[in-house]
């Protein structure tokens, strides 16, 4: 007897993974860039740390608010679509059955088989069948605003703490070089971990965040140095 074939899928991780990676990545890049920019402008160690702490707090709140509003809009659209489907199923069941069957025909089933599949799925859970196959709304990817907001705020804070702690530990003269090095190493690890968690290439994930992180910190350092020279 052949052993059962087991498959491992990662679609259930999409919602929280997106918010977590975005939050941590933004926390590291934003705070590190802020530290490098203020240090390059000639700011004192106290000024650098104050700016970093303020950036951490403001960034975490901004991420939470932005993620909540964004995902709430998605949730509102999903809810509106759900109510529409409920109404149509109650008033036009035959048309809804034909619509679902046509979807399966377009996916490759014969018309007779498509009608049978649509009938059986609708007898089991008509609303779920239409939300999933007609509108692409799946339970695993449904919008969860509060979860997304909390995840973003917490991961942003965790990410921002890394360059902040490095700034506390490093001498002021080494901030412009030390903070980018520490931050880029952490970004590479985060990108690789996120890619592996999502089932993608760790190398590609690491390279992606490294390029954009280095670009952001380089631009901020250049602006800080230029501004510090003219003020």
pLDDT for the residue 53: 94
As to burial, measured by CB atoms within 10 angstroms (0-12 exposed, 13-18 middle, 19+ buried), residue 147 is middle
Within a domain: 199 = yes
Domain region containing 45? 12-79+146-230
Written as six digits, the tokens of 224 are 């800080």
pLDDT digits (tens, 9 = 90+) for 115-162: 898 888 888 888 888 888 777 777 666 667 888 888 888 989 999 999
8 A C-beta contact, residue 119 and residue 111? no
Q: How far apart are CA 46 and CA 37, in angstroms?
A: 14
pLDDT at 167: 93
CB-based contact 224:41 (threshold 8 Å): yes
Residue 104 lies in a domain: no
Length of the chain: 231
**Cα–Cα distance between 197 and 118 in angstroms, integer?**
35
pLDDT digits (tens, 9 = 90+) for 1-59: 455 545 444 444 555 566 677 788 889 988 999 999 898 888 899 999 999 999 999 99
Per the structure, the count of domains in the chain is 1
Residue 212 resides in a domain:
yes
CB atoms within 10 A of CB 218: 13
Instruction: Name the DSSP class of 107.
Output: T
**Looking at the domain assignment, is residue 96 inside a domain?**
no
Instruction: Indicate whether 23 belongs to any domain.
Output: yes
């Amino acid at each position: 007897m052949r052993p059962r074939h087991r498959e491992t899928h990662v679609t259930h991780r999409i919602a929280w993974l997106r918010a977590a990676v975005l939050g941590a990545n933004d926390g590291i890049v934003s705070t590190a860039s802020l530290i490098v920019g203020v240090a390059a402008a000639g700011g004192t160690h106290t000024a650098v740390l104050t700016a970093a702490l303020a950036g951490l707090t403001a960034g975490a709140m901004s991420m939470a608010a932005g993620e909540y509003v964004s995902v709430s809009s998605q949730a509102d659209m999903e809810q509106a679509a759900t109510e529409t489907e409920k109404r149509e199923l109650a008033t036009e069941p035959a048309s809804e059955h034909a619509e679902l069957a046509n979807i399966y025909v377009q996916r490759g089933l014969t018309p007779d088989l498509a009608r049978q599949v649509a009938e059986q799925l609708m007898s089991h859970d008509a609303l779920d069948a239409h939300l999933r196959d007609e509108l692409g709304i799946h339970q695993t990817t449904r919008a969860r605003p509060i979860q997304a907001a909390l995840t973003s705020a917490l991961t942003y804070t965790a990410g921002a703490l890394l360059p902040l702690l490095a700034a506390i530990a490093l001498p002021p003269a080494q901030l412009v070089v030390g903070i980018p090095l520490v931050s880029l190493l952490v970004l590479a690890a985060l990108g690789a971990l996120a890619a592996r968690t999502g089932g993608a290439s760790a190398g590609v994930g690491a390279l992606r965040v490294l390029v954009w992180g280095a670009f952001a910190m380089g631009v901020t350092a250049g602006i800080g140095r230029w501004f510090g020279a003219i003020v």
